[in-house]
Amino acid sequence: MKTIRLTTSQALVKFLNQQYVEFDGKKERFIKGVFTIFGHGNVVGIGQALQENPGELEVYQGRNEQGMAHAAVAFAKQKHRKQIMACSSSVGPGSANMVTSAATATANNIPVLLLPSDVFATRQPDPVLQQIEQTHDLSLSTNDAFRSVSKYWDRVSRPEQLMSAMINAMRVLTDPADTGAVTIALPQDVQGEAWDFPESFFRERTHLIERREPSQESIRNAVELIKSKKKPLLILGGGVRYSEAADTFAAFAEKFHIPFSETQAGKSGLESNHPLNLGGVGVTGNSAANKIAQSADLIIGVGTRFTDFTTSSKLFYAETDVLTINISEFHASKLEATKIVADAKVGLEALSSALEGYKSGYETEIEEAKSEWNEELTRLKNIAYTGEEFVPEIKGHFDQSLSEYKDSLSTELVQTTVLGKVNELIAPDSIITCAAGSLPGDLQRMWISNERNTYHLEYGYSCMGYEIASALGAKMAEPDKEVYAMVGDGSYLMLHSELVTSIQEGIKINIVLFDNSGFGCINNLQMDNGIESFGTEFRVRNPRTGQLDGDIMRINFAQSGAAYGAKTYEVYTMEELECAIEDSKKQSVSTLIDIKVLPKTMTDGYDSWWHVGVAAVSESSDVQTAFEGKESQLQKARKY
């Protein structure tokens, strides 16, 4: 057997260079490159290997391990999971920073390869710098935290273990039914150890991403179910996009005259103006989709995980039959569904062929629901602050203190109006990214996706801090398109480090920052459930009360972006917004548009419910009322 003597790190880099995927006859390199922040745990191991012979791997310098791994997740998501990035971190806190990103990837079934450094396998220098010593188990390290958030986890304690670890890593990374974060922990001494690796380990490997075919029995069962129903509703999930099944999905809906709604991951799988597209469904859904969802006699979920936001915490479809088409047996089995375990495209094709002669019983309901929503959408896009008599969308919370925010932030801008204008002004093929706060609800309801695959929301984990890093990852995936990170002030403060990486690399991204001086979404949830505003507004500590109820904080985010080298804009009026958007298009460097908006001017819910843990005992009558309301809704919802 021919062998090559290499260090573990050198062998890893050589192996990664030889990985390809093939999907529908198209073959491409699977791993584009490596994000890294070098520390003592990886700079002389993986760092040496990447410096000496990176092969085709491109090396990118991150600024925060969570941020760079989020960028890697976004890259793979925008690439429909057909190409990925790896991430290398140092030991201890560097590794721990990536745990959140691993969870984000796994919750969304997005492949990312994480290579955290680990403590010494020999234990000779224990406790090494940044090592946690668990007295009951010396084999534990920071990296064991990845076990609960990874689809595959391994620790390479000897060089020869790299081979089985990486072959299994590729198995999971290229499995459309069960992919997510793959974590390979690399003890820092093992990274530099040498071994005679067989040449066969470094042969070119092409991983075939196959379209799983449905069973004939599952198709027969589905046909029987559909034919017994008059008003089914399709749900377009992220699996439709990853399967690249948009045309097949549209043809199915049109052939049988079945309306469809979208999840956050599925939105922009088809254009918003498709006549059968009702828009977002569930907690962050609009009135059209939610109205049809609650009157439908069959729900057909294609490539969706049926999260609580899609099902309105199972209040929707509580007594409605459900049919699923999903490549994952686990997700296909949810809600006691009649299931077709298959790739979305071939599953829909097989079902379409077998369902000949069927047509739904919808008459004018689809058009009426869409027309009603379009009127509401026009209203939302044209709301203007009118002074003391102004009633915000989120009523009864800050009605008396909006004027304080108006004066403090020097703005009268309404969030829904601003969002509508941004949608109108940016190019139709622009990609938007978002993850948390009130913006995902506004975007799923209001955003018009004029072109496919331009709406990039992470809402499986709704991870604050994903937004700006994801813009970098999406731009790397599609460099010819403008990318806009839609972000609230809370998420910006939590993590915006990869803005610097974008400037370093000359990869232009645009940050559209909505500043309402607080965690507005959570403040809404808090006050909707009878609790007075507490710890969710950005106010200074009041020396008189000792609480965080002093003056409203005013932060100039534009100045922070300018300090990094971004082109920035301060926006207080609609005219300034339009000028900023148009000028940002002319820039070659990353931009930040700092928009001051009034709180409570985001969209409200549309006939949906979200189950949260309201206090069962409280001295507040408002909290007691909220608890009783929760219990009442829970009685109507599906229990499992």
Task: Give the domains, in start order, of the chain with CATH numbers.
Answer: 3-208 (3.40.50.970), 216-372 (3.40.50.1220), 393-596 (3.40.50.970)
Query: Is 429 a known ligand-binding residue?
Result: no
Query: Is 65 a known ligand-binding residue?
Result: yes
Q: Which of 384, 466, 608, 368 is nearest to 101 (CA)?
A: 466
User: Rounded to an integer, what distance in angstroms lies between the CA atom of residue 48 and that of residue 57?
Assistant: 14
- For residue 401, the model assigns a pLDDT of 83
Q: What is the tens place of the pLDDT at every residue in 97-146? A: 999 999 999 999 999 999 999 999 999 999 999 999 999 999 999 999 99
User: Rounded to an integer, what distance in angstroms lies between the CA atom of residue 515 and that of residue 413?
Assistant: 10
Q: What is the tens place of the pLDDT at every residue in 36-79? A: 999 999 999 999 999 999 999 999 999 999 999 999 999 999 99
- For residue 388, the model assigns a pLDDT of 87
pLDDT-derived band at 561, boundaries 50, 70, 90: very high
pLDDT-derived band at 22, boundaries 50, 70, 90: very high
The mean pLDDT of the chain is 97
Which whole-number Å values give the CA distances from 583 to 6, 190, 426, 427, 428, in the listed order? 52, 51, 11, 13, 17
Residue 183: which H helix or E strand, with range? strand 181-187
- For residue 342, the model assigns a pLDDT of 98
User: Rounded to an integer, what distance in angstroms lies between the CA atom of residue 562 and that of residue 569?
Assistant: 9
Look up residue 143 and give its DSSP letter: G
> Where would I find the beta strands (DSSP E) of 62-134?
84-89, 112-118
Query: Percent of the chain having pLDDT more than 70?
Result: 100
Instruction: Return the bridge partners of 118, or none.
Output: 187
**pLDDT exceeds cutoff 90 at 399:** no
Query: Is 594 a known ligand-binding residue?
Result: no
- For residue 240, the model assigns a pLDDT of 98
**pLDDT exceeds cutoff 90 at 400:** no
Burial of 409 (0-12, 13-18, 19+ CB in 10 A): buried
